[in-house]
Amino acid sequence: MKILSKLRASIAVAAVLVLSTVMFVDINDAQAEYGDVVINNYSDGAGMRPVVFPHWFHRVRFRCKVCHADLGFKFQAGGNEINMVKIIDGQFCGACHNGDIAWSVENCNLCHSAKPNTPTQVHESTVQKLAQPSGAKK
């Protein structure tokens, strides 16, 4: 029964695929503390989409100290009173997003990219990002 054994083989392959996906997600769950932070103290109120701060993206590029000591970011989602005046003044995100170290402040939608009404939170989208099949666009 050639067809039957082929079928068995493909079921086995499918089972392995499902299993490895589950394991992959589990491993990345351990890094949820580095998940994206949604910051929405003021944005919705001001008619802007809330801010998504991709923590993992930044923390692989800079030491914790750069932001959490030198720039004074408190270790708490939404725990910093950030606004655009401060950013344009070079504080918080504006220390880098100044067209020098990173793209500048006029790219509103690159930061204000969350769905409206998303509350301040640590979002675990890093898990989804890392779990994308290889070859997927970043």
Cα distance between residue 121 and residue 27, in whole Å:
21
Sheet bearing 121-123, strands edge to edge: 51-53, 36-39, 121-123
Residue 38 contacts residue 118 (beta carbons within 8 Å) = yes
Interface with ligand HEC (CB under 6 A), residue from 87, 123, 126, 127: 87
Rounded to 5°, the CA angle 89-92-95 comes to 65
Nearest residue (CB) to ligand HEC, 87 versus 127: 87
Q: Which of 31, 91, 98, 102 binds ligand HEC (CB under 6 A)?
A: 102
Within 116-135, the residues that bind ligand HEC by CB under 6 A are 122
Burial class (CB in 10 A: 0-12, 13-18, 19+), 19: exposed
Q: Which of 9, 12, 21, 79 binds ligand HEC (CB under 6 A)?
A: 79
Task: List contacts with ligand HEC (CB under 6 A).
Answer: 33, 37, 39-43, 46, 48, 50-51, 53-55, 57-59, 61-62, 64, 66-68, 71, 73, 75-80, 82-85, 87, 92-93, 95-97, 101-103, 105-108, 110-112, 122
